[in-house]
């Protein structure tokens, strides 16, 4: 294997030295108890994410430190201290108590980056309920499916998102009792909604967090599989131990740092690393309301004197596209560590970081199910451009060869010891942020394990020195702009159209987004494929699914390739489209 090596960062004079100075030594000595002990327990007993992230700083006398610096779309900036976030989240816990919620009930947000989302997250955890974010670019159908599976009782959203995405499906959600709007009050409130601000204004700003069992449920994050409904990965309060430790050792957060995670809070990264990990490390988080904008991003990095930046390959590729000259309009002298997650990071991206910011991007790997970073390039180690890195201390990772039964259920997993041999990336269960199950779907959870390993669904290699390299997904899920898309969810929406008989959805390579969604459609008798119908179907899918999930292009086919049992063979559709080898087609039905 050939790759470029970028030298480890020894730190400029005056800069803090890496929290993890010697990987081998640290790894050998580390256990999770060490990290657990650095987080204060609750005065009332147990461990609560919101206490570890917010209240413990206030109790320690650091309440004046800026926890969150919010940048509005129009550039107006507003600081929230740890004490202020403590009060706002206490208010929200009191609001939930006033609404009659019980511990373990589910509270959802459907919103972009707004301060109320963070009050809701932390207040829900203080109260002892379970927090679940929804991506604001979802259409009504994905919103409905997730609120339904999650049994959401409370939803915090904005007036416009409510009108466009919730109102059409509200009658189908009998369990959704309370909808709180962040930007409407009084006469502007649609029927069946209440004002977030009014409820907060009359709520007490003190709240004593009840004793919290570290194993009690705290977070619900939806993710996608190739078949069936969205999966709600459940995480316990104990997860904060891993958030804290990975923030400290993988992202190299030092108390007082300014830290910017660009991920959307509708997904796990925006919560684990947009809020919990950095706050548990006592840093200032930057929250920018606006979406990607290269000029704006450079200005934020420079003006806010960002020390640690966590972003994603699609964003890096979009910045690269705009050229180095644009980056050179600012100075980034405070930037100490650059990291990336969510999809494969091309070596060119790693190196571009070095050229533009004087340091490489450090790839990290993890999943909704793992809750926290599992594999990372560390500040104190050389970066092998193109590698995902090495396992985080406390994590045992391996490449395994998996045997599956005819239904695809794993029956055995054997560790592959030969370096550079491809297999499935597996982790030894037991780390603090490991998911505790998929809500309401124990069978699917069990299918993630074999022979004492958690199977990630990613194919990878391990080189002779212990670096892990990404190869591809073992299944058909699509990663587009870092978002995990279920082909099944897209196919189901298309099948609701009266002209569609069958649909097969795949991801096609895209130089910027990584992959884009393409649908192959078989029409019902009496319908003809045309450009007009393709446009109609795309519009139909966008309306239901939202722009983030809908297909970019549609192709019509008289007969989609199926297995003998009738399952559409997406792998084959993709191979044919891209002119790749068709692989094993022994299960393909033979027509006639």
Task: Map tokens 């029927």 to a residue.
Answer: 191
**Quick check: 268 binds ligand WT7 (CB under 6 A)?**
yes
In the complex with ligand WT7, the residue whose CB is nearer, 166 or 513, is 513
- Name residues whose C-beta falls within 8 Å of residue 101's C-beta, 6 or more positions apart in sequence: 107, 127, 129, 153, 154
Which residue of 118, 127, 260, 365 would you call a contact of ligand WT7, by CB under 6 A?
Answer: 365
456 binds ligand WT7 (CB under 6 A): yes
Given a contact cutoff of 8 angstroms between Cβ atoms, the answer to whether 72 and 115 are in contact is no
Strands (E), 83-240: 106-110, 130-134, 152-157, 178-181, 194-195, 217-223, 231-236
The percent of the chain in helix, strand and coil, each rounded to the nearest 5, is 30, 25, 45
The one among 95, 110, 341, 516 contacting ligand WT7 by CB under 6 A: 341
Residue nearest to ligand WT7 (CB): 368
CA atoms of 389 and 364, how far apart (whole Å): 7
Closest CB to ligand WT7 among residues 101, 149: 149
Q: Which of 158, 367, 433, 480 binds ligand WT7 (CB under 6 A)?
A: 367
Q: According to the binding rule CB under 6 A, does residue 343 interact with ligand WT7?
A: yes
* Cβ at position 70, least distance to ligand WT7 in Å: 23
Q: What distances in angstroms separate CA 286 from CA 233, 267, 268, one per listed residue?
A: 27, 17, 17
Q: How far apart are CA 275 and CA 122, in angstroms?
A: 9
Residue 242 or residue 341: which is nearer to ligand WT7 going by CB? 341
Mark residues 288-307: x for contact with ligand WT7 by CB under 6 A, - for none.
--------------------
3-class DSSP assignment, residue 462: strand
Nearest Cα to Cα of residue 471 among 459, 484, 480, 482: 459
Q: Is 366 near ligand WT7 (CB under 6 A)?
A: yes
Helices assigned H by DSSP within 151-238:
159-161, 196-201
- 55, 116, 363, 502: which one contacts ligand WT7 (CB under 6 A)? 363
Contact flag: residue 484 with ligand WT7 (CB under 6 A): yes
**Nearest to ligand WT7 of 298, 366 (CB atom):** 366
The closest alpha carbon to 115, from 75, 147, 84, 150, belongs to 84
Q: How far is the CB of 15 from ligand WT7 (least distance, A)?
A: 25
Closest separation in Å from C-beta 218 to ligand WT7: 17
Q: Which stretch binds ligand WT7 (CB under 6 A): 12-20, 31-39, 251-259, 336-344?
A: 336-344
Nearer to ligand WT7, 104 or 472 (CB): 472
- Residue 170 DSSP class: G
Q: Which region, judged by CB under 6 A, interacts with ligand WT7, from 82-90, 277-285, 362-370, 578-586?
A: 362-370
Beta bridge partners of 134: 110
Tell the smallest beta-carbon distance from residue 344 to ligand WT7 (Å): 4
Interatomic CA distance for residues 435 and 239, integer angstroms:
9
The CA distance from 311 to 339, in Å, is: 6
Find the angle CA(436)-CA(441)-CA(444) to the nearest 5 degrees. Answer: 85
Considering beta carbons, is residue 9 or 424 the nearer one to ligand WT7?
424
Task: Provide the 8-state DSSP code for 63.
Answer: T
CA angle centred on 201, ends 195 and 203, rounded to 5°? 105
**Residue partners of 273: CB distance under 8 A and separation at least 6:** 243, 247, 251, 261, 263, 310, 341, 373
The answer to the question of residue 470 lying near ligand WT7 (CB under 6 A) is yes
Q: Which of 380, 393, 383 is nearest to 352 (CA)?
A: 383
How many residues of this chain bind ligand WT7 (CB under 6 A)? 21
CB of 435 to ligand WT7, least distance (A): 10
**486 is an interface residue for ligand WT7 by CB under 6 A:** no
Asked if 344 interacts with ligand WT7 (CB under 6 A), we say yes
Please identify which residue in 334, 473, 527, 543 interacts with ligand WT7, judged by CB under 6 A: 473
359 or 483, CB closer to ligand WT7?
483
* Residue 484: CB minimum distance to ligand WT7, A: 4
458 binds ligand WT7 (CB under 6 A): yes
Buried b (16+ CB within 10 A) or exposed e, 416-452: beeeeeebbbbbeeebbbbbbbbbebeeebebbebee
Q: Which of 209, 388, 400, 554 binds ligand WT7 (CB under 6 A)?
A: 388
Using the contact rule CB under 6 A, the part of the chain among 353-361, 410-418, 455-463, 542-550 near ligand WT7 is: 455-463
Helix axes 347-357, 313-321, angle to 10 degrees: 60
Q: How far is the CB of 73 from ligand WT7 (least distance, A)?
A: 25
- How far is it, in rounded angstroms, from Cα 533 to Cα 525? 14
Q: Of the two residues 41 and 447, which places its CB atom closer to ligand WT7 in the complex? A: 447
From 55-63, 339-347, 497-505, 583-591, span contacting ligand WT7 (CB under 6 A)? 339-347
Which of 124, 223, 314, 377 touches ligand WT7 (CB under 6 A)?
A: 223
Nearer to ligand WT7, 123 or 507 (CB): 507
For ligand WT7, the closer of residues 343 and 522 by Cβ is 343
Of the two residues 129 and 387, which places its CB atom closer to ligand WT7 in the complex?
387
433 binds ligand WT7 (CB under 6 A): no
Q: What is the DSSP string of 239-306?
A: HHHHHHHHHHHTS---TT-EEEE-S-TTSHHHHIIIIIHHHHTT-EEEEE-S---HHHHHHHHHHTT-
- Figure out which of the listed residues 113, 170, 248, 479 binds ligand WT7, where binding follows CB under 6 A: 479
Piece of 41-49, 151-159, 321-329, 341-349 that binds ligand WT7 (CB under 6 A)? 341-349
Inter-residue contact 47 to 407 (CB < 8 Å):
no
The residues binding ligand WT7 (CB under 6 A) are 223, 268-269, 341-344, 363-368, 388, 456-458, 470, 473, 479, 484
């Amino acid at each position: 294997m050939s790759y470029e090596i970028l030298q480890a960062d020894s730190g400029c004079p005056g800069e803090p030295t890496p929290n993890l100075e010697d990987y081998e030594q640290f790894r050998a000595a580390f256990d999770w108890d060490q990290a657990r002990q650095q987080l204060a327990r609750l005065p009332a007993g147990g461990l609560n994410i919101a206490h570890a992230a917010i209240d413990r700083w206030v109790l320690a006398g650091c309440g004046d430190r800026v926890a969150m610096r919010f940048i509005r779309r129009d550039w107006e900036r507003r600081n929230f201290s740890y004490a202020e976030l403590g009060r706002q989240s206490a208010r929200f816990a009191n609001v939930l108590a006033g609404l009659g919620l019980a511990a373990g009930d589910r509270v959802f947000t459907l919103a972009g980056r707004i301060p109320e989302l963070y009050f809701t997250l932390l207040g829900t955890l203080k109260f002892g309920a379970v927090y679940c974010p929804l991506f604001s670019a979802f259409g009504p159908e994905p919103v409905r499916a997730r609120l339904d599976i999650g049994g959401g009782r409370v939803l915090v959203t904005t007036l416009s998102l409510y009108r466009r995405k919730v109102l059409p499906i509200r009658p189908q959600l009998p369990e959704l009792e309370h909808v709180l709007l962040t930007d409407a009050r009084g006469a502007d409130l649609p029927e069946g909604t209440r004002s977030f601000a009014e409820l907060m204004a009359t709520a007490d700003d003190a709240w004593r967090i009840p004793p919290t069992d570290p194993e009690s449920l705290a977070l619900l994050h939806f993710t996608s599989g190739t078949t069936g409904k969205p999966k709600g990965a459940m995480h316990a309060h104990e997860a904060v131990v891993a958030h804290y430790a990975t923030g400290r050792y993988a992202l190299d957060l030092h108390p007082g740092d300014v830290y910017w995670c660009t991920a959307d809070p509708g997904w796990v990264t925006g919560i684990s690393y947009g809020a919990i990990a950095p706050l548990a490390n006592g840093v200032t988080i930057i929250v920018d309301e606006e979406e990607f904008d290269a000029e704006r991003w450079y200005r934020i990095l420079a003006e806010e004197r960002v020390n640690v930046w966590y972003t994603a390959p699609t964003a890096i590729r979009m910045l690269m596209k705009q050229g180095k000259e644009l980056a050179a309009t600012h100075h980034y002298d405070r930037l100490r560590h650059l990291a990336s997650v969510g999809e494969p990071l091309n070596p060119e991206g790693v190196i571009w970081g070095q050229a533009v910011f004087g340091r490489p991007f450090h790839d990290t790997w993890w999943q909704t199910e793992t809750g926290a970073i599992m594999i990372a390039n560390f500040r104190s180690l050389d970066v092998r451009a193109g590698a995902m890195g090495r396992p985080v201390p406390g994590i045992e990772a391996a490449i395994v060869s998996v045997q599956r039964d005819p239904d695809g259920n794993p029956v055995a997993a054997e560790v592959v010891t030969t370096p550079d041999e491809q297999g499935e990336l597996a982790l030894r269960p037991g780390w603090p942020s490991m998911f505790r199950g998929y809500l309401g779907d124990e069978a699917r959870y069990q299918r993630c394990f074999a022979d004492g390993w958690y199977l990630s669904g990613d194919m990878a290699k391990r080189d002779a020195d212990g670096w892990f390299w990404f190869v591809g997904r073992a299944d058909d899920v699509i990663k587009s702009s870092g978002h995990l898309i279920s082909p099944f969810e897209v196919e189901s929406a298309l099948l609701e159209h009266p002209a569609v008989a069958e649909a097969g959805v795949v991801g096609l390579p895209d130089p910027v987004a990584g992959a884009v969604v393409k649908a192959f459609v078989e029409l019902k008798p009496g319908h003809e494929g045309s450009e007009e119908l393709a446009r109609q179907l795309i519009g139909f899918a966008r309306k239901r699914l939202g722009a983030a999930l809908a297909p970019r292009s549609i192709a019509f086919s008289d007969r989609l390739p199926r297995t003998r049992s009738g399952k559409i063979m997406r792998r084959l559709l993709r191979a044919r489209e891209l002119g790749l080898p068709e692989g094993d087609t022994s299960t393909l039905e033979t027509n006639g």
